[in-house]
Structure 1
Amino acid sequence: MALDYFAPGVYVEEVDKGSRPIEGISLSVAGFIGFTEDVRGDAELFKPMLVTSWDQYREYYAAPGSDGYTDFDAYLPFAVNGWFVNGGGRCWVTSIGTKLPGSEPPAPEATALRIGTSNNKPTLMFNIKPADASASQLALPSTSERIKVIVQESTPKPLPDDAPADAEPPLNTGEFFNVIVVQGGQELERYEHVTMNPQVAPEVADYVVTAIADSEYVTIADISVSGQPLSRRPANGAYEIAPPPYISSIDRFARDLLGQRDDRTGIQGMFEIDETAMIACPDLMRVYEAGLIDIDQVHGVMEMMLSMCENSFPGPAFRMAVIDPPPIKPSKGMEAVPPDRQKPQDVAQWLSMFNRRSMYGALYYPWIKVANPRKGGKPSYVPPCGHVMGLWCRTDQSRGIFKAPANDTPRGVLGLAYETNMREQEMLNPIGINCIRNFASYNRGFKVWGARTLVEPDNIQWRYISVRRLISYIEKSIEIGTQWVVFEPNDTDLWARVTRTVSNFLEGLWRNGALFGGASSEAFYVKCDATLNTHETMMMGRLYIEVGICPVRPAEFVIFRVSQWSPNS
């Protein structure tokens, strides 16, 4: 705004008088931590990577041409696929390895690159030359940094300079090729004029295995069966050599899993991604089933996930952790058992043993049965966290975050590890264990039949997942949408603008059905006046705004009272 006017004329000034609207944030972004088949492309081991579709997941975490799953039945691929199948959108994925900790390293032939002829017959096998045994490989190189072998067209060796003038050059039979070893776009080695003929004359060409035998980067083997050199010639193209899989030691695995916030690695690194609002670690159950960690270590990881969800300083806590019940029978020891042998009383006893309550946690029982592509489509039992989180996201999009994510069908589910009945759920539901049930007798299929947090049973105001997430949604949206207020003049004009901004946001939620009340005055209030903001508080640079809201709560128990009625009585 101009302070002085000297020349006559018309002056147009732009003045910001209106309130700035608050835009609601998204709490429908998930974070998954677990094992993958590979780590490729821009993805890095231990670090979160944004994934927006199952095809993109396979691009980053599956071997070329693979289905995305693993030979050791890691649960992360099932969880991520379940997320997308059930309506999930964006998610972040952190790979903590491509083999179970302490596994035997695969034979070099198992990870070797096999190149075929133009007719897809095997011809050459390449592998990365083993590094120094004392060097520890703590990360898999990305695709751009991996060693590649390029096969391209070539000719026989040219005649030497001192060859007779009437000498004829060797006949080009089409069997000759070049092999180039590259990494990250940089050429490391080049072998020209090579052939698949071991008896080739040295002045004509070099046998490819002999020529590359002294390579500093790759090893080579001739795996062709029979035929002329031309029929055994490898097809032209660029071929990527996969590095040996990362296998952590059992002692190191706990550090790999937990990670570090500063380095954005492991579980702690996932909490550095600002948009992740729901967190799960399905392969915590996989390592427990394999006997690589005990139940106390499982509890330690779960405790850390819940504690980090509760602590989101400096802003309000808004994340929730979906944990899976470990398949154990506490009455018969702490060893893992098949998921279909865990009964409702077992999971109830385990939860009392875990004894950790939090409004930022949710637990679902039982495990679910899904198709396993690595077993020809035969079913396997997997933790339900990924499918349930996808259902949360689907409910957010179709109904709103205020709708309880329950009484809906989890997609991709073929069966349940245990079919809970109503009497058994009467034991589980009051202590915060949400059941997935089979309502075949009602012809309704499988339904998520619970919507409670893991809060203390007597803390009824935070009992429901939808209420907890709605309040987090409002708090986080207000925090982000009112950043413009900072350093504004702290006067009654600012008070009115802030009140109007927050009220408009809450009124929109009330009109959408997120807040309870016949009128907006019954659904919420916003207070910012001199009773809250005294001279002393303003001297300290503070502005206080009080907001009260009345969230809608799910109708968990529907009671019809039916009686006989006579119109004449």
Structure 2
Amino acid sequence: MALDYFAPGVYVEEVDRGSRPIEGVSLSVAGFVGFTEDVRGDAELFKPMLVTNWNQYLELFSKPGSDGYTDFDAYLPFAVQGWFLNGGGRCWVVSIGTKLPGSELPPPEETGSKLFTSGGKPSLMFNLKLPEAGAAPALPSSSGRITVSILESEPKPLDDDADEDAIPPLNTGEFFSVVVRNGNEILERYDNLSMNPQVETALADYVLTALEASEFVTIANLSQSGQALSRRPRNGSYEIAPPPYISPLENLARDVQGARNDKTGMQGIFEVDEVAMIACPDLMRVYQEGLMDLDQIHGVMEMMVSLCENSFPGPAYRMAVLDAPPVKPGKNENRAVPPEQQKPQDVFNWLREFNRRSMFGALYYPWIKVANPRNGGRPILVPPSGHMMGLWCRTDETRGIFKAPANDTPRGVIGLAYETNMREQEMLNPVGINCIRNFASYNRGFKVWGARTLVEPDNVQWRYISVRRLISYVEKSIEIGTQWVVFEPNDQDLWARVSRTVSNFLERLWREGALFGGSAAEAFYVKCDAELNTNETMMLGRLYVEVGICPVRPAEFVIFRISQWAPNQ
């Protein structure tokens, strides 16, 4: 209200008495950690980068003109492609390298940036100069990459003491300048250059000789023959990428884990608030290559699940989608095997050995067969986590977050590592291993045939993925949608407004089919009254609101009871 009134007249005041609607948050954004072919553009190694489609992924994490996959069959590109194929939208990607840890540094001719003549023939090759011979390269980033520009130039001008009648040298078009930049900052500039090794120094400088003094780049002459003009590189700007970062084996686990303060690695993904599902498919690649043993793999998985469980100060809302390592647990064998050799009993025994239970984790079996562009489109077996998270997102969009992401077809899948039958799934399903099945005999194709979390089997309240995600959706939406309540006068008027706000949100969910009940009163309740908010709690500055909801649960087992019936004559 106005503070005072002095002159007679009509005063109009705005009074905010209505409830503010709660807008549902999105829990359909994924986070991926793994190896990529390259790291360029605005992307940085170990830092989460937003990717909204496959083309954008190629711009950030593949070499120019490439298909985005790697020569060592990293699983991350397959997972991200599967995410988008199955309906995934935004995702965040963390690259932990472009080569497997412990690999040899490729020779400069493989990592250098090649410049071509106007006729398309090789001219020059540039590489970043390392700090010292054999030293590890700096991590590639958008600010650390160098740009080399080739510009028009001319022969050197005549000396000041030359005869007045001297004829200036003829500009044959062979001369050019090299400008080395870091962003918009010019680091070095070399003018009056030529591709002719025997060029007169009074006329120009041979490009290799001139750039020997460069502090930032090294240069090689790729041209074979011809005149200086025909060997001249064409004008333009070229990105000079550093050599790939190759992690020492002892640093691999630390690189994957990252650091929260630096927002790197797995912990960097958890600093992105909108990420609600996490996968690290290349854990399986490093395990297959023998770069991590099973205990180390379990350590990373444990970290993923624990980070999902801990979302202080708000409610936990993320889920980790795990992949089953291709292993046959036993007394004398604890090493990777081909994924097709891992049978249902093996994954059952592995999960018992891993022995980590959580309502914020999910596991799918078996591995899936997809096309590999790096091998002529021939099939390759990959972990299913990326495809499954994409299917989660598609279910959210088409049906709602309350619908179990199951009995649906995973896109991009052309086969399975193992075709589980019903009897085998009877062993896996009760312990939370979700099967991907082939229902060819029913002419139904491949189906995701499980929707359980990795919670303890006897904890039936949090058994289903859809229930866990629906409750997280409600909690997170209410948390964000009621921020306006903080520091409001704690009285009956506020209690009524808060109750109305939350009730309207839950009634909308009930009408959409997310809550069970024949009426709104049967589906949920919201309590905010003097019984909860006593004088003592108000003196402490606290407002308590009690909310109860009845989520719908998937019909996992459909039982028809059929008997013979004889009508009365």
Q: How big is the shift at 1:275?
A: 1.0
2:439 is aligned to 439
| Alignment deviations for residues 302-328 of structure 1 (CA, whole Å, 9 cap, x no partner) | 111111111111111111000100010
Aligned pairs (5 A) from 1:39-58: 39-58=39-58
Letter in 2 for 1:544: Y
Check conservation: 2:113, 2:126, Cα contact below 8 A.
yes
Residue 457 in 1 paired to residue 457 in 2?
yes
- Cα offset for 1:281? 0.9
Q: Does 1:503 align with 2:484?
A: no
| C-alpha separation in 1, matches of 2:80 and 2:334 | 28
For the residues of structure 2 that align with 1:134 and 1:173, how far apart are their CA atoms? 41
| Paired letter, 2:27 | L
Q: CA–CA distance in 2 between the matches of 1:539 and 1:136?
A: 60
In the alignment, the residues of structure 2 paired with residue 358 and residue 75 of structure 1 have an alpha-carbon distance, to the nearest angstrom, of: 25
- In the alignment, does 2:337 pair up with 1:326? no
Any idea what SS the aligned residue of 2:213 has? coil
Is 2:150 aligned against 1:151?
A: yes
- Structure 2 letter corresponding to 1:67: D
Counterpart of 1:275 in structure 2 is: 274
2:453 equivalent to 1:416: no
Corresponding residue of 2:373? 373
> Matches of 1:426 and 1:435 in 2, distance apart?
10
Q: Deviations over 1:311-368 (max 9, x none)?
A: 1111111110001000101135111111111111100000000011000000001111
Matched, 1:260 2:259: yes
Cα deviation, residue 113, structure 1:
1.3
Provide Cα deviations, 1:419-440, integer angstroms capped at 9, x if missing partner.
Answer: 1111111111111000111112
1:285 and 2:302 equivalent? Answer: no
> In structure 1, what is the equivalent of residue 225 of structure 2?
226
Farther off after superposition, 428-437 or 39-48 = 39-48
Correspondence for 2:428: 428
Aligned counterparts of 1:300 and 1:159: Cα–Cα separation in 2? 70
- Aligned-pair distance for 1:102? 1.0
| Structure 2 length-normalised TM | 0.97
Q: Percent identity between the aligned chains?
A: 76
2:369–2:414 contact (8 Å) kept in structure 1: yes
Q: Residue 37 of structure 1: SS of its match in structure 2?
A: coil
Query: Partner letter of residue 257 of structure 2?
Result: L
Q: 1:223-277 CA distances to partner (integer Å, 9 max, x unpaired)?
A: 1122222222211111111101111111111111111112211111211111111
Q: How does 1:36-435 map to 2 (within 5 A)?
A: 36-133=36-133, 136-137=136-137, 139-142=139-142, 144-331=143-330, 333-435=333-435
Q: Secondary structure at the match of 1:348?
A: helix
Cα distance, 1:7 vs structure 2 = 2.1
Distance in structure 2 (CA, Å) of the matches to 1:190 and 1:295: 52
Q: Which whole-Å CA distance do the structure 1 matches of 2:254 and 2:185 have between them?
A: 34
**Matched residue pairs, number?**
568
Q: Deviations over 1:135-161 (max 9, x none)?
A: 65462232x431222112222333333
Match of residue 531 from structure 2: 531
Distance 2:489 2:124 in 1: 74
Give the secondary-structure state (helix, strand or coil) at the position aligned to 1:231: helix
Amino acid of the structure 1 residue aligned with 2:24: G
CA distance in 1, matches of 2:502, 2:137: 52
**What residue identity is the alignment partner of 1:419?**
E
SS in 2 for 1:213: helix
Distance 2:396 2:477 in 1: 15
Cα distance change on mapping 1:136 and 1:112 into 2, 3 Å: closer
What amino acid does structure 2 have at the position aligned with 1:152?
L
Amino acid corresponding to residue 558 of structure 1 in structure 2 = V
Q: State the alpha-carbon separation in 2 of the partners of residues 232 and 35 from structure 1.
A: 37
Q: Any idea what the Cα deviations from partners look like across 1:466-513, whole Å, max 9, x if unmatched?
A: 000000100111111111222222222221111111111100000000
- Give yes or no for contact 2:124–2:221 (8 Å, CA) kept in 1: yes
Distance 1:41 1:112 in 2: 17
Q: Which amino acid aligns with 1:285?
A: M
Measured in 2, the distance between the counterparts of 1:414 and 1:320 equals 27
Distance in 1 separating the partners of 2:546 and 2:308 = 24
Q: Distance in 1 between matches of 2:38 and 2:243?
A: 10
Q: Distance in 2 between matches of 1:138 and 1:464?
A: 45
Whole-Å Cα distance in 1 between the matches of residues 9 and 169 of structure 2?
Answer: 91
Distance in 1 (CA, whole Å) between partners of 2:479 and 2:421 is: 43
Code of the residue aligned with 1:476 in structure 2: it is K
Instruction: Tell me, in whole angstroms, the C-alpha distance in 2 between the residues paired with 1:179 and 1:76.
Output: 37
Answer with 393-402 or 170-179: which moved more.
170-179
SS in 1 for 2:340: helix
Q: Which amino acid aligns with 1:196?
A: M
Q: Which amino acid aligns with 1:145?
A: G
Question: Which SS does the other structure have where 2:497 is aligned?
Answer: helix
Moved more, 53-62 or 163-172: 163-172
Larger mean Cα displacement after TM superposition, 388-397 or 146-155: 146-155
Q: Please list every run of at least 4 consecutive aligned residues from structure 1 whose deviation after the TM superposition is greater than 4 angstroms.
A: 133-138
- Tell me the distance in 2 between the aligned counterparts of 1:496 and 1:190: 70
Distance 1:5 1:174 in 2: 83
CA distance in 2, matches of 1:207, 1:86: 55
Q: Secondary structure at the match of 1:59?
A: helix
Q: Which position in structure 2 is the counterpart of 1:16?
A: 16
User: CA separation in 2, counterparts of 1:192 and 1:464?
Assistant: 68
Gaps of at least 5 residues in structure 2 are: none
Measure the CA separation in 2 of the matches of 1:487 and 1:272.
27
- Give the match for residue 30 of structure 2: 30
- Find the aligned partners of 2:179 and 2:203 in 1 and give their Cα distance: 19
Distance 2:39 2:487 in 1: 46
CA distance in 1, matches of 2:402, 2:501: 21
SS at 1:522's partner residue?
helix
Distance 1:197 1:524 in 2: 83
* Equivalent position SS for 1:72: coil
Q: CA deviation at 1:549?
A: 0.7
